[in-house]
Every structure is written in structure tokens, then in C-alpha cells.
Amino acid sequence: MSDAPAWDARYDAEGFTFGEQPNRYLESMLPRLRPGQRALALGDGEGRNGVWLARQGLDVTSLDWSARGLAKARAFASRHGVALETVAADLTRWDWPQGRFDLVAWIFVHLPPDDRVLVAQRAMAALAPGGLLVLEGFSPAQEGRRSGGPRDPALLWTADEARHLFAGLRLLECLGGTVLLDEGPRHQGEAEIIRGLWQRVG
């Protein structure tokens, strides 16, 4: 279920809500990426992750429910001399392609539990054989911190839940801990997160 008007309002502000640099965990995937691969950036907002992927030579689809955010993403991509396919849609209602993507980036996309299950199933099905799913999200230990993340504890990730949701893929790593966020005004300071990497076998 989307909250597009609220995100449109956030992205209407000057500057970049979560900064212009890619997520550090996603950036650490660089040795696994190859030009020409197809990538799907979920909840890509103003495009920081999608644009970085495009700059590495990937063919990127940026999916977000905020049309305002995606307009900024296209302008950001143009500034860097790359292009994105942008799709303004609710993740639970989008007509997901099957077996298309070599990478699905699920970075700080926090959904209600039922929606999370649905989107996880569709994200796994959207991976091409050998494709990777990379995840970063706030964990329950983030509650009470002011460095970012949703206030509703039902939207937070646990490592056990992530392992269960993506059990149809090969687990490469799944871990939790404390990181220092420096991702625009909304992600600043010490934060409790989980990170995970899975691969579609076949």
C-alpha cells in the first residue's frame, strides 16, 4: 500500500532526502556487477542507487511510488550522463516481469508484513538465473534512535525474517549490526540494520 503523496512532499524539498551517494552495502557489490546487466532498484526515490548502478554500465529500472522523486532521479541521471527507466508504481500492484533482472536492490524499503511477503515473492521471481538480491533495512534495535527508519516496529526487519522470506534463493550472507549512516538529512548517525545477499540458482 503506497503513501505516494507523503513521499512526493518529501521529495519536493530542495536537495536530496537521502543524499546523492549510493548505499554503501550496495556499493560493495561492485566486484559482482558487469556492464550490460539488468538491475531493478526498489524504492529508488531520487535515484541515488539507480544512478550509481547506471554509471557502472547496468541497464537500470528505478521503481518508486513517488513520481516527484523519479523526476528528480531522471534529472540526476542526466546530470551524470546516464539514463534510467523509471516506473511510478506501488510495489504490490506493479506488473512484475519474470526472470528479467540480474540484480534486485532492496535498500531501506520498509513495508507492512503482508506486503513484504508479496513483494519478496515477486522480487525473487523477477530475478534471472544467477541473479542477486541485495537487502539493507533497519532492524528492531533501531527503535528509539534518531538516525532514520520507520516508527512502526512492524515495518522493521529481522535477519530471521529475511532468511525465511528469501528461502527460495541461495543465501550468500545475512547479518546485522551497527553502522554509521551518512545518507542525506534523513539517514544520519549510528543505526541498527540488517544486510543480506541472495542468489537465484539456475
Q: What angle do CA 30, 37, 81 make, to 5 degrees?
A: 75
Q: What's the CA gap between 44 and 169, in Å, rounded?
A: 23
CA nearest to 194, candidates 117, 154, 113, 139: 139
Confidence of residue 3 (pLDDT cuts 50, 70, 90): confident
Backbone angles phi, psi at 95, to 5 degrees: -85, 90
pLDDT tens digit string along 130-149?
Answer: 999 999 999 998 887 787 77
CA nearest to 139, candidates 154, 123, 124, 120: 154
Give the domain range for residue 166.
Answer: 4-199
Of 4-8, 21-25, 157-161, the one with minimum mean pLDDT is: 4-8
pLDDT average, residue stretch 4-14: 61
Burial of 50 (0-12, 13-18, 19+ CB in 10 A): buried
pTM for the structure as a whole? 0.91
Total number of domains constituting the chain: 1
Supply 29's cell numbers. 557489490
Ramachandran class of 85: left when φ > 0, alpha when ψ lies in -120 to 50, beta otherwise: beta
| pLDDT greater than 70 at residue 7 | no
pLDDT value, residue 202? 80
- Where helices occur in the chain by DSSP H, the ranges are 4-11, 24-27, 48-55, 67-79, 113-126, 159-165
Q: What's the CA gap between 71 and 7, in Å, rounded?
A: 13
pLDDT value, residue 145? 78
Confidence of residue 172 (pLDDT cuts 50, 70, 90): very high
CATH number of the domain that residue 99 is part of = 3.40.50.150
DSSP 8-state class, residue 23:
P
Between 6 and 62, the more confident residue is 62
Q: Under DSSP, is residue 38 helix (H, G, I), strand (E, B) or coil?
A: strand
Average pLDDT, the chain: 90
Between 10 and 40, the more confident residue is 40
pLDDT tens digit string along 64-120?
Answer: 988 888 999 999 999 999 999 999 999 999 999 999 999 999 999 999 999 999 999
Q: What's the CA gap between 17 and 186, in Å, rounded?
A: 6
pLDDT tens digit string along 184-196?
Answer: 656 667 889 999 9
